[in-house]
Structure 1
């Protein structure tokens, strides 16, 4: 839910900035603005001399303005850095035992875990995503269970089979996992 909301907020922010910037540019190029617009014409300024100097003699004014703008810049930089950060490791570091290592694609490990988890008794669908760092990945597993599945047996099979195989084949000392179980809902059927 966070990722779509983040994309919507980024899109709306970008759209507002483009529309405002385009409108200011159009007024600056000589387009007559509507009556409700902030600027009256091509040579109008956003803040007149009276507005700019009204609070100048107050001691709190400039520190407040500079602090608010600095906070706004820091928040914008933090948001931008959050967009660049990877949520999933692209590859997993596999220890070969001789001091060397190899890189395994993260999606390949996810696919193998997903197919092995989906083959367990009582599992209708499985979804696996890796998180964390490439040297210490974590698995996020979502399982849709069949109506007759025993959750305890499914979890035991997942930890002793699928997760153990993935951990051993990647040469990891540990592979923590967060598992979400969901019962599959069936449509009611008419019995006559």
Structure 2
């Protein structure tokens, strides 16, 4: 979803900047513009003194301006924080039994899960990623299946093998997983 929000915001900002830039350029080059156009010539100002001070005396003006700026600030902060949030866990907390716990690198567990998944029958490639919180992680696993592989057996082997081993070795009560299966691309074989 974050990619979609980024693309929409970028497209809207680009359209607004393009429209404003085109309007200023047309007025600056003294091109013939319609009568409703906000700028008429190269010596025209963007905002006249009358336009800048028109609403200043109204009682509702400043609260509306402050509220609009606050909403824009909150949306900008939300966008910034969503950019900084990681979708991949850097470490996972493991109960070591001594009361303190231990930290396990997330990439290490991901690499082990992917290597074990690749060793399954009918799996060409595998990738694993840990998501969620450090104390309650989840897994996203992508499998590329060979042409002769059976998806149900590959999924059950993954659940009983790599995911169960990762859950037991890290001491998690549960390890929810989202598994995406794809078929490996291959050329058609000629029959002679």
Question: Shorter chain as normaliser: what TM range?
Answer: 0.7 to 0.9
Q: Partner of 2:24 in structure 1? A: none
Map of 1:28 onto structure 2:
none
CA–CA distance in structure 2, aligned partners of residues 51 and 77 of structure 1: 30
Which aligned pairs between 1:26-37 and structure 2 lie closer than 5 A?
35-36=28-29
The CA deviation string for residues 21-67 of structure 1, in whole angstroms up to 9 with x for no partner, is xxxxxxxxxxxxx92598x68xx975331111223455554443332
**Aligned counterpart, 1:78:** 78
Matched residue pairs, number? 174
User: Aligned residue for 1:27?
Assistant: none
Residues 154 and 63 of structure 1: CA distance in aligned 2, closer, same or farther (over 3 Å)? same
Secondary structure, in 3 states, of the residue corresponding to 2:121? Answer: coil
For the residue of structure 1 that corresponds to 2:129, the secondary structure is strand
- Deviation of residue 70 (structure 1)? 1.6
User: Partner of 1:98 in structure 2?
Assistant: 98
1:3 positional shift: 4.5
Aligned-pair RMSD on alpha carbons? 3.3
Which residue of 1 is the match for residue 21 of structure 2? none
Q: State whether structure 2 residue 74 is matched by structure 1 residue 51.
A: no
Indicate conservation of the 8 Å contact 2:126/2:143, yes or no: yes
Structure 1 residues 187, 5: closer, same or farther in 2, change over 3 A?
A: farther
Aligned to 1:67: 67
2-structure distance, mates of 1:173, 1:137: 10
Q: Normalization by structure 2: what TM-score? A: 0.75
1:125-136 aligned at under 5 Å gives the runs: 125-136=125-136
| Corresponding residue of 1:25 | none
Q: Go from structure 1 to structure 2 and tell me whether the alpha carbon gap of 1:145 and 1:100 turns closer, same or farther (over 3 Å shift).
A: same
CA offsets per residue over residues 147-178 of structure 1, 9 Å max, x none?
A: 11111111111111101111111111111100
Structure 2: gaps of 5 or more residues:
18-26, 31-38
3-state SS, counterpart of residue 163 of structure 1: helix
